[in-house]
Amino acid sequence: MALIYTWYGHGTSGLDIDGSKVLVDPYFTDNPAASAKPNEIEADYILITHGHGDHVGDAVSIAKRTGASVVTNFEIATWFQNQGVEAHAQHLGGGHQYPFGYVKLTLALHGSALPDGSDGGNPCGFLVTTSGHQKIYLAGDTGLFGDMSLIGEEGLDLAVIPIGDNYTMGPDDALRAVKLLQAKHVIPVHHSTWELIEQDADAWAGRVRSETQTEPHVLQPGESFTL
């Protein structure tokens, strides 16, 4: 079973799971780091971690053009449904089986107000178990929390975590997160979009390599990693 992870810049990820296109937090139009235009992106499902504008991004227009279903928490799912977008509501700790795999919503320490000020409920991350039994953890925007070790107990093949600081974990806490998650591979995201969250991802990867058993992969926007 092939799994291709693509980083589109900032917190925007794409998973190609045996041909199923799963887009996460599609932020292209106003994203200075974006490697693609929203109308170039294909999607079968769109996963949304929280309500902030840099994560909801272009999700409404991409969902309407592609017919993709949104997967997110109840509050954000309702917000999408009210705009005519098909959405499946889950909530923290709950999992659901989709054709491409099983998606569980995980804890995230962050905010979640939607762009129009609506209540976006609690932010989340995603633990995706593909139909080929690969486990990918997409942390979303979050601070460090000790229960990352519980997520790590699931046996992660890949963790995608923020390192940008200011809004999320910075490099030091992200390194601690790697130690709790114990994934086989880690990809740093949510950094260097703007000066405020500029980070030396290669230097961070060097620390991951020397202090953990996890293999880091530093991508440029538009680059992919095949698991």
- Using CB atoms, what's the residue nearest to Ni ion? 52
Shortest distance, CB of residue 11 to Ni ion, whole angstroms? 8
Residues lying near Mn ion in the complex (CB under 5 A)? 54, 141
- Name residues whose C-beta falls within 8 Å of residue 208's C-beta, 6 or more positions apart in sequence: 175, 178, 186, 214, 216
Shortest distance, CB of residue 141 to Mn ion, whole angstroms? 4
3-state percent helix, strand, coil for the chain, nearest multiple of 5: 25, 30, 45
Nearer to Mn ion, 54 or 173 (CB): 54
Nearer to Ni ion, 49 or 69 (CB): 49
190 binds Ni ion (CB under 5 A): no
Strands 20-24 and 12-17: antiparallel
What residues numbered 120-159 form the site for Ni ion, per CB under 5 A? 141
Nearer to Ni ion, 32 or 67 (CB): 32
Shortest distance, CB of residue 48 to Ni ion, whole angstroms? 11
Which whole-number Å values give the CA distances from 91 to 26, 62, 96, 151, 192, in the listed order? 20, 23, 10, 16, 30
Buried b (16+ CB within 10 A) or exposed e, 10-21: bbbbbbbbeebb
104 binds Ni ion (CB under 5 A): no
Strands 215-216 and 224-226: unpaired
Distance CA 5, CA 207 (A): 22
Shortest distance, CB of residue 164 to Ni ion, whole angstroms? 11
Nearer to Mn ion, 16 or 141 (CB): 141
Nearer to Ni ion, 120 or 152 (CB): 120
Contacting residue, 17, 24, 26, 52, with Ni ion by CB under 5 A: 52
